[in-house]
Every structure is written in C-alpha cells, then in structure tokens.
Amino acid sequence: MATNLSRDDELRGILSDITRHRFPSRRQLNPQSNLFLTAKYAVEEGYVTHATLDESESQSLATLDLTEATLTAAGVDKLAELNQLDQ
C-alpha cells in the first residue's frame, strides 16, 4: 500500500535521489500522484534543472524524466534546509 508523504518529505526524497542519480529512466505516472506533483513543484520553484515533465491532456499518464536532472543552487540550499529540519 502506498503511503502519502508530506510535500517536504517527498521533496527531500526527490532532491536527494536526483543528487544520487537514482532516476535512470523516464517514468509514466498518474499526473495527480504525489511524486509527479512534487517534481513539478521542484521544477517550478527552480530547485531542479534539465527535468522533463509532460502532462499532455490527450493522455491519461504523465511522463516524468529526471535522467539528466540536476539541482540548482537553490535546490542544493533547499535540500540542506530540509535535511536540517529532519534532524
């Protein structure tokens, strides 16, 4: 069963995984999933660059490609902030 994490927990996980290059392939997801929405938030907030998100209205699944994604300076700072909150 899937567990819904808070946005901060989900964001910390995504930013950490991008840093560790743990997205070796594109993923097709429900565009309302926590993972997709948080990745979209990270891109919109400027924490991540070189990410591709496609939520074409003609398809029921969205595509999330973080294979080439990297953290921006703001993303590095945000990850450090989130890690501090966790301690």
Number of domains in the chain: 1
Answer yes or no: is 1 within a domain: no
**Domain for residue 64, yes or no?**
yes
Domain enclosing residue 75, as ranges: 7-86
Give a yes or no: residue 80 inside a domain.
Answer: yes
Give a yes or no: residue 2 inside a domain: no
Residue 62 φ/ψ, nearest 5 degrees: -100, 155
Kindly report whether the global pTM for this prediction surpasses the value 0.95: no
**Within a domain: residue 19?**
yes
pLDDT at 3 over 70: no
CA distance 41 to 48: 9
Q: Is residue 22 part of a domain?
A: yes
Model confidence at 85, pLDDT cuts 50, 70, 90, reads confident
Q: With bands split at pLDDT 50, 70 and 90, how would you rate the model's confidence at 5?
A: confident
Query: DSSP of 23-55, one letter per residue?
Result: --S-EEE-TTSHHHHHHHHHHHTTSEES-EEE-
Helix (H) or strand (E) holding 65: strand 62-65
Where residue 65 sits, what CATH number does that domain have?
Answer: 1.10.10
Let me know if residue 26 belongs to a domain: yes
Confidence class of residue 1 from pLDDT cuts 50, 70 and 90?
A: very low
| Sequence-separated (6 or more) residues with CB below 8 Å from residue 15 | 42, 47, 48, 71, 75, 78, 79, 82
Question: pLDDT for 8-57, tens place per residue?
Answer: 999 999 999 999 999 999 999 999 999 999 999 999 999 999 999 999 87
The answer to the question of residue 54 being in a domain is: yes
